[in-house]
Structure 1
Amino acid sequence: MDRAELVELLTPEGLTLLDSVSFTQPMDILTTVSRLRAEGHSAGLVAAVLGQARLRSKARRKFGPFADRMLFTPAGLEQATRLRVAALHAGRYASAGLRSVIDLGCGIGGDALALASLDLAVTAVEIDEVTAAIASYNLAPFPSSTVRHADAGDVDISGFDAVFADPARRTAGHAETSRLTDPDDYSPSLARLWEHAERLPVGVKLGPGFDRSRLPTDAEAQWVSVDGEVVELGVWTGSLARDGVRRSALVVSDDGTNELSAGADSEDESVRRLGEYLYEPDGSVIRARLIGDLGRRIGAGMVSDRIAYLTSDTLVTTPFASVFRVVADLPLDEKTVKRELRTRKVGVLEVKKRGADIDPAVFRKRMALSGPNAATVVLTRVAGRHRALLAERV
């Protein structure tokens, strides 16, 4: 979206028209465009409205019903924090007694919205003019919020209790952006944020694959997964970091939130013989390097050195891992696996792998599947040897 489109959209006519269009049900785009044009709306306004309607529909995954009164850019929506996670961010500030927060690089305002909803005074800073205007619209219902169009790297943080930052990790633009690989190119840069952390409590949202060697040693690092997908690494300093916690895996699902935390990376459990059950740790547990702690919690050992699978003979339900019952332990040989799948009449196959240089999609195709049954095959190493474990989800 460019400035002209936004100006046209932010009119009584544009916003009323936007609220009348919804993609909650399948829509004939050509028919809708023809109808709106026949009603006398300009081509530019119709395009802007339909673009926003699509984004609102897509945004419900992150923002739920709140999406229906928000505005977005494609890049802003992609980078925005899910509202459930933003609420957890905001809760840290409230619990620490911090009342005024400057949000450096607010994007469309997702985290600022969560902070403002707890009656915290929020100043949200955004360098892109269109995105800043959209953030202002999204935050309009909250009188404790202010949006400032400025470079987040140059803003004076004096007078605030704390900082939150979701530094821009992609090139500028509203769509078709590319990822920045050097943290010094982020906006604001990580070096600048760590300087702020010497003065105020700072929370920083980063990608889950961020280089761990660049994390401050005295900060809390929390990897967050939502519905099985690792979505972020939160780095918390000062009073935002919890005593004794330096590594955390937070699992968010429809069943609520569950956390595994420790004062440091945990040592892996010993390798043990393959048991009846195989545990695949959640990605947040793997990223936080808490696999050993999980193994000790559920009484399981490693299937092999440096392989992120656990095994035991006892079934333990845990939010921190998917569980499979091993039904066959086979050599990692295509003919052997294919023959076993044919005998079991497997027509639907989930292929998982760790420690095996195999393309799951190619492997699945070569199995020539046929039959009414479903199964999972795990291509991995067991006690150092390549194996194919035929399994079923528990």
Structure 2
Amino acid sequence: MPFAFSVPDVGFLTSGAGRAALASFVPTGDPLRDVATARRLIGDEHAASLLETALLRGRALDRFPDGWFWTSDALEQATAVPVADHRARRLAAVADGRVVHDVTCSVGVEVAALSGVLDRVVGSDLDPVRLAMARANVPAAWLVRADALAPVTRDSVVVADPARRTSSGRRVRRPEEMTPPLGSLPGPDLVVSTAPGLDFTLVPWAREVELVSLDGRVREAALWSAGLVPDDGPRRRATVLLSAGPGYEVTDLDDDTCPVTDVDQWLVDPDGAVVRAGLVRHYAARHGLAQLDPHLAYLTGPHPPSGTRAFRVLEHGPYSEKALRQTLRRREVGRVEILVRGLDVDPDRLRPRLKLAGPHAATVVLARVGRGAHASVCEAVTTSGSQR
């Protein structure tokens, strides 16, 4: 069970004595030694909260601002800073001077991002511990304790990030099972961060569904109500954020003219946000690529997009385990990455049966194309530059 902070714990940790103790306390990884050190610094009453905060800050290092206060659940559920910053920039363009109210502010990540680009920001939460931490993390923000279903602002733009797990840790997938339930959130101008796997037909009020990834990992689906997007705007958007440089967007308003062809010189696996948003054809059309199969996310073409991980095709043909083993043996492949789409093949079980031996590495792409199983032996390459 994660450590349960109390409001007095947070009060002590955010005091001068607490901050001084945190500044001088460096966990060693030895629980008994660390507890003894914490008790020696501040006594028994708040020693556990001191140790937990130091450990959580270590987990948050390089992902969130230094010196923040966290609970374990808040850190696990927190929106990544680049994702929060992206949403804040979008909201700044449509808020029209209105208050933007984060009704599930937790320890303040979204409020901090919003406050960086907007003048009128409110955060609220029902959890007194998280709210106390938010006040320490974002001291200049206007923060109040309130139920998300009974907000303290009027005519505001509402931001929400409902919990997607029950108190027992079970993941929920239906909008009415989330906390707070999606259908009960105040509107009409509303943006909700939710799970990428949500069945979007269950949220008919969402005028735009935006799938957001960061550095190749799909982080969330953002549901935007009609009041925050233009009538002639896209209904589906994939936003690809990259820590190392500019990302890109694909929408359903983009051209989706995309042929279906045999394997060319390269295979390309689009970012997960593009795939989950159903925009594979639009991405392919932008980069002059083709589909291998109308039901397959893999694309092919003579040139891969810049700034992406692609696969140079060395050999391609119908898949059989025996033929693949012979090909890899002939190429002296001793290390192999196995990617599978549309086939009942377990890479972890297949790998030892291939009896790999040799100095070279390869990527094997196994996919169902039409009614047949195909194998491509490839060289994985990360291309230079950035996509548009």
TM-score normalised per structure 1: 0.87
- Whole-Å separation in 2 of the counterparts to 1:80 and 1:71: 12
Q: How big is the shift at 1:252? A: 0.8
Q: What is the CA–CA distance in structure 1 between the aligned matches of 2:378 and 2:323, rounded to whole Å?
A: 15
Contact 2:217 2:272 in 1 (8 A): yes
Say yes or no: does 1:51 pair with 2:46.
no
Matched residue, 2:143? 147
Q: Cα offset for 1:335?
A: 2.5
CA contact (8 A) 1:352 1:379 kept: yes
SS at structure 1 position matched to 2:105: coil
1:268-313 deviations in Å (ceiling 9; x for gaps): 733211111111011011111111111111222211231111112x
Q: Secondary structure at the match of 1:391?
A: strand
2, 5, 22: which one pairs with 1:2? 5
1:263 aligns with 2:290: no
Offset at 1:22?
4.7
Deviations 1:156-214 (A, max 9, x none): 542x4311111122224xxx733222211223321123x612xxx21111111111212
Q: Distance in 2 between matches of 1:40 and 1:301?
A: 64
State how far apart, in whole Å, the 1-side matches of 2:50 and 2:207 are: 43
Contact 2:21 2:41 in 1 (8 A): no
* 1:208 paired to 2:211: no
- SS across alignment from 1:342: helix
Residue 70 of structure 1 is matched in structure 2 by 68
Alignment map for 1:106-145 (pairs within 5 Å): 106-140=105-139, 142=140, 145=141
Q: For structure 1, which segment, 44-53 or 243-252, has the greater mean C-alpha deviation from structure 2 after superposition?
A: 44-53
Partner of 1:219: helix, strand, or coil? Answer: strand
Secondary structure, counterpart of 1:69 in structure 2: coil
Query: SS of the residue aligned with 2:100?
Result: strand
SS of corresponding position for 1:363: helix
In 2, the alpha carbon distance for the partners of 1:335 and 1:51 equals 53
Task: Compute the TM-score of the two structures, normalised by the length of structure 2.
Answer: 0.88
Query: Which one of the candidate residues 334, 348, 351 is aligned to 2:321?
Result: 334
Candidates 156, 161, 164, aligned match of 1:161:
156
Give runs of aligned pairs for residues 1-394 of structure 1, distance below 5 A: 1-3=4-6, 5-22=9-26, 30-37=32-39, 39-63=40-64, 66=65, 68-96=66-94, 97-140=96-139, 142=140, 145-158=141-154, 160-172=155-167, 177-193=169-185, 196-197=187-188, 201-216=189-204, 219-242=207-230, 243-253=232-242, 254-263=244-253, 269-312=258-301, 314-319=302-307, 322-394=309-381
Query: How far apart in 2 are the matches of 1:22 and 1:120?
Result: 37
Output the CA distance in 1 between the equivalents of 2:228 and 2:152: 20
The number of aligned residues is 374
Code of the residue aligned with 2:5 in structure 1: it is D
Distance 2:58 2:246 in 1: 24
One-letter amino acid of the counterpart of residue 85, structure 1? V
- Please tell me the residue identity of whatever aligns with 1:292: R
1:57 deviates by: 2.0
Offset at 1:46? 3.2
The one-letter code matched in structure 1 to 2:46 is L
Gaps of 5+ in 1: none
Q: Which moved more, 1:11-20 or 1:76-85?
A: 11-20
- Deviations for 1:58-87, whole angstroms, at most 9, x for unmatched residues? 223432xx1x12111111111111111111
Q: Aligned to 2:42, what secondary structure does the other structure show?
A: coil
Partners of 1:331 and 1:301 in 2: CA distance: 19
> Do the aligned residues in 2 keep the contact of 1:101 with 1:120 (CA within 8 Å)?
no
SS in 2 for 1:368: coil
Letter of the aligned partner of 2:77 in structure 1?
Q
Give 1:354 shift.
Answer: 0.8
**Which secondary structure state, in structure 1, belongs to the residue aligned with residue 293 of structure 2?**
coil
Q: Could you say which structure has the higher helix fraction?
A: 1
Paired residues of 2:365 and 2:378 also in contact (CA < 8 A) = yes
The answer on whether the counterparts of 2:92 and 2:118 sit within 8 Å (CA) in structure 1 is no
Deviation at 1:239, TM superposition (A): 4.7
One-letter amino acid matched to 1:378: V
Change in 2 beyond 3 A, CA 1:43/1:358: farther
Q: Helix, strand or coil: the match of 1:260?
A: strand
Distance 1:181 1:218, change over 3 A: closer
Q: Deviations over 1:307-333 (max 9, x none)?
A: 111112x113245x5311111114322
Aligned-residue sequence identity (percent) comes to: 33
